[in-house]
Chain A
Amino acid sequence: MKLRKLAAGSLVFCMVAGAMASSAFADEIVINYPTFQVGANTSAPAIAELVNRFNEEYAGQYRIEVEEVPGDENYADKITVQIASSETLPPVVYGAGQKLLDLALQADAVKDISEAVDADPDWAAMYTESWEEVNCRDGKKYASSMESEMIGYFYNKELFEQAGIDGPAATWDEFFEDLDKLKEAGITPLAMDTADGAWCTQLLVGAYLASTEEGMEFLKTKYPTDYNNEAMINAMAKAQELYQNYTTLDAVGGAYENAANNFFSGNVAIICNGPWMISDFSDESKTEAGFADKVGAAAYPDSFVYDAPIEGMFVTKQDDPALEEAAVAMVQFFTSNEAQAVALDLSGMVPASSAVEITDEILEKYPLLGEFLSQASACENRASTLTGNMVPGLEDIWDNELPNLASGASTPEDFCQVLTDFAAANPAQ
């Protein structure tokens, strides 16, 4: 009899506890967060950790449910379709250099977060001039960055030594002399590409473009519509020369992975890319053991480095104001200095906020990143990438036309004219 009472009491207790727990979680707001930072993406560990931390901190109040959308392009395609369909967007969207903020703004789908940002002094302090350029429109704060696109180049110290080169060049003249020295030593100097936006090539072209005043001004122009200027034509002429004389045969038609593999395999001495590549230098499925010790990092000649926050996370307009509030809390959490420090630690993501301290522990964990950041900090000239500022759709024309430029089928002037024709016909809204 006692046992029965005990069992009945336990059951009643469980039911009451269950009901209380379920009522506590009934008010929990779920934020559906689609992200491409999963799978092979180098940021995946950092994002997974931040989601866990957010869910712990806001347990019972807010909860992020991750929607895995593997592949950067797939993510951009999916969000673009959702914007075009005028359907409610996910509460938080990451712009991620895919030009999604302007697209969503055109559809009047983005919430102005100025009030929330200004209410938090640490958050407001992040909005420097470069942040405002990327994340603000018409004086209103719409997005918040968590990562910076700080990019230089990597070089193979062993191959440099074989060619009698002491270290990275300080000027472009020295840089091109070094390319000749490498060639004379039988070493292919550069990793280049033409496919998928020709990432490595566009970094090199953009950096060279920044070496003149006119070029730098052009590089800093958001969505230019006229590429027929002397600096751009000269830069494309240089690219043509480099394709024809200083790179591998698979550069034409090749994508980033081909260029990267040439560098990992020691086939080329130099590759332009960002610090996210550093962890690959010790990945033995891509390169030989000990390769990381052979790699050096450098800023570009003439004291130039790519340095711009990547278009950040933005909150979209929702029918439920409570969901919008939850989304703002998520963006604030993910782009806080603490979150950026976690992302740096776990995935080597360069913080977008200058307030994030690069600790000795980080420098010990990522020595090459430390080497690069110390050089980058001394650079006087900074801008965002060439293709990052192109009008939507122009990147496809850019990589379709590059093989013609590389083979000599089109001249630098023709190439710039093609870019101009498209950009002028499709200006950004």
Chain B
Amino acid sequence: MKRAKLSPGERAVRIFGYILMILAVIVALYPILWVILSSFKTNKEILSSGLSLPEHFSLDGYKQALEMAPIFQFFATSLMISVTATVLNVLFLSMSGYIFAKKRFRGKNILFWILSLSMVIPTTALLSPVFTVISKMGLYDTKAALIIVYIALSMPVSLMILRSTFSAIPDELEEAARMDGAGFLKNFFLVMIPCAKGGMASAAVLAFLESWNEFTFALILTSSVSTRTLPLSLSYFTAQFSFNYTALFAAITIAVIPSIVIFAFFQEQVNQSLVAGSVKG
């Protein structure tokens, strides 16, 4: 098939488009590359010539990072907590999203907005009450505490996404299933859930990233190495009057890679989640 020849104007527009895309890629990738390159530099090189390539590629930063902080243990804990919080978040919020989307009951909209409003409460305001509640429940310094808090933190976003997702599924599908004899649970798990896979994946990705990157509650609610998560490990490398940027950037490299991989695999779902609800609410 022969390609249509572009006019000079169209060619200029296309070239301009490519230039814009290349710039966008550079802007997106540069900070990540900078961090990875910095993990091979000395502290002096990082602070004096931040943009240059390392004089010598050295793995000392990674060695120091692993010696100074139990990064792999924190990594495993982070993974366990984030995965559990994500699975539970999506499971529970898909149930509530379905009810908010498909069922009618008094005070539905008010309840939905109250739950959504929790998104705008600043973390600082939540610290003290959450700490008190978790302590009173006897969950201080447990993984369960972080899992519960992370499920709650991701609740408003997941609820909005999943409510929009279930709203977009035609009611006829549900009615047909009911006529075929499907009960409430069968209808939800066998008909609705398969249709909402896209929205659930979007909610899962955002919930996972929120849990994986969260720092403040992990600091406040845990005390032992066995319950600490990866973001806390980054604080081992800088103190008020002391710093080890090489080790810090090595630790960041180890910490961000899973987030990048997850995002790369599920970017379609994340992008969809950002526009979810803009068409039909």
Contact = CB atoms under 8 A, between A and B. Distances in A.
A261 B128 contact: no
Interface in B244-281: 244-247
Contacts of B235: 39, 70-71, 74
Given A40-B68, A87-B132, A261-B44, A285 B241 contact: no
A70 B69 contact: yes
Interface string A10-53: 00000000000000000000001010101111100000000000
A87 B220 CA distance: 12
A22 B188 CA distance: 54
Contacts of B68: 39-40
A85 B219 CA distance: 15
Interface in B108-159: 127-129, 131-132, 135
B239 interface: yes
Interface string A256-283: 1110010011000000011011001001
Contacts of B43: 261, 283, 285-286
B47 A40 contact: no
A325 interface: no
Q: Helix, strand, loop or mixed for chain B's interface?
A: helix
Contacts of B233: 70
Nearest to A82: B131
A67 B223 CA distance: 6
A57 interface: no
B92 interface: no
A69 B235 CA distance: 8
Contacts of A77: 216, 219-220
A8 to B, nearest CB: 37
B239 A42 contact: yes
A81 interface: yes
Contact of B241 (A42, A74, A264): A42
A287 interface: yes
Given A68-B225, A74-B219, A40 B44 contact: no
A285 B128 contact: no
Contact of A39 (B69, B131, B223): B69
A32 B224 CA distance: 10
A328 B246 CA distance: 39
B241 A265 contact: no
B220 A78 contact: yes
A116 interface: no
A72 interface: yes
B144 to A, nearest CB: 18
A283 B43 CA distance: 10
Contacts of A41: 239, 242
B242 A40 contact: yes
Interface string B94-108: 000000000000000
Nearest to B215: A74
A277 B58 CA distance: 25
A409 interface: no
Contacts of B247: 40
A170 interface: no
Given A32-B223, A74-B235, A285 B47 contact: no
Interface string A240-258: 0000000000000000111
B239 A257 contact: no
A107 interface: no
A84 interface: yes
Contact of A70 (B42, B128, B232): B232
Given A32-B223, A40-B68, A258 B132 contact: no
B34 interface: no
B7 interface: no
A280 B223 contact: no
Contacts of A73: 240
Contacts of A261: 43-44, 47-48
B238 A264 contact: no
B243 interface: yes
A28 B69 CA distance: 28
Contact of A85 (B48, B131, B216, B243): B131
Interface centre among A38, A39, A82, A258 (most CB of B within 10 A): A39
A39 B220 contact: no
Given A81-B127, A286-B44, A40 B225 contact: no
Given A87-B132, A261-B47, A78 B239 contact: no
Interface in A73-97: 73-74, 77-78, 81-82, 84-87
Interface in B190-244: 216, 219-220, 223-225, 232-233, 235-244
Closest 7 CB pairs of A and B: A39-B236, A71-B235, A261-B47, A70-B235, A41-B239, A70-B236, A67-B223
Interface of A: 32, 34, 36, 38-42, 67-74, 77-78, 81-82, 84-87, 196, 199, 256-258, 261, 264-265, 273-274, 276-277, 280, 283-288
18 contacts: A39-B68, A40-B239, A40-B244, A67-B223, A70-B233, A70-B236, A72-B240, A73-B240, A78-B220, A81-B128, A84-B128, A257-B47, A274-B241, A284-B42, A285-B43, A285-B44, A285-B244, A287-B44
